[in-house]
Each structure stands twice: as C-alpha cells, then as structure tokens.
C-alpha cells in the first residue's frame, strides 16, 4: 500500500493542555477521525481500523470508549427487521 505523509502545524501549548506528546496526539486524532467517519457510516469497521492504525478488535474497544455503537444501521427498517417485526 502506498502511503502519504501529512503534516500539521499546531500550537505547542496544545500538547500540554491535552497532556499528550505529539505522537500520542496524532494516534488519538487518527482514532477520533476513524470513529467519527465510522459513526457517520462513511467507512466500514475494517477501513476505520486501518485508518486508526489498530486491529479491528482494538477499534471495537475504541468505539466503546467513544460511546459509539459497533453496529451500523442505514434506517429504521433494519432495526424493525432485526427485532423480528415487519
């Protein structure tokens, strides 16, 4: 897989405010972005785990930490069908 390197400029004070070093901040930012994109149903769990740089099991644990369901539903019809209705 071909990789692309991105860079960002952030105020140095940010890292002490969030109690993280730059590497920890980048890991957390990748996780947060992957969780949000997964929650918005833009990407799959597998792709989100890849973006976050963790295994799928670790990503599911991360979803719990962010209070995001590991299940994606595209509409209420799926919920009704899974509940045994309609």
Residue 46 lies in a domain: yes
Return the higher-pLDDT residue of 1 and 55: 55
Q: Which domain holds residue 50?
A: 20-82
pLDDT in tens, 11-41: 988 888 888 898 999 999 999 999 999 999 9
With 0-12 / 13-18 / 19 or more C-beta atoms within 10 angstroms meaning exposed / middle / buried, residue 40 is exposed
Q: How far is CA 3 from CA 6, 14, 66, in A?
A: 10, 27, 27
Residue 42: band (very low, low, confident or very high) from pLDDT cuts 50, 70, 90? very high
pLDDT in tens, 60-74: 999 999 999 999 876
Residue 65 lies in a domain: yes
CA atoms 47, 44, 66, 6: torsion sign: positive
How many structural domains is the chain composed of? 1
**pTM: predicted TM-score of the whole model, two decimal places:** 0.76
Place of tokens 């979803």: 63
- What pLDDT, on a 0 to 100 scale, did the predictor assign at position 72? 83
Phi, psi of 43 (to 5 degrees): -140, 160
- Residue 84 in this model has a pLDDT that exceeds 70: no
């Amino acid at each position: 897989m071909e990789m692309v390197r991105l860079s960002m400029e952030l105020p140095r004070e940010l890292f002490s405010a969030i109690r993280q070093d730059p590497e920890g901040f980048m890991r957390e930012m990748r996780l947060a972005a992957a969780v949000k994109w997964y929650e918005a149903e833009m990407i799959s769990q597998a792709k989100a785990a890849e973006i976050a740089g963790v295994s799928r099991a670790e990503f599911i644990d991360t979803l719990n930490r962010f209070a995001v369901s590991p299940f994606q539903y595209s509409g209420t019809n799926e919920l009704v069908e899974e509940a045994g209705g309609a």
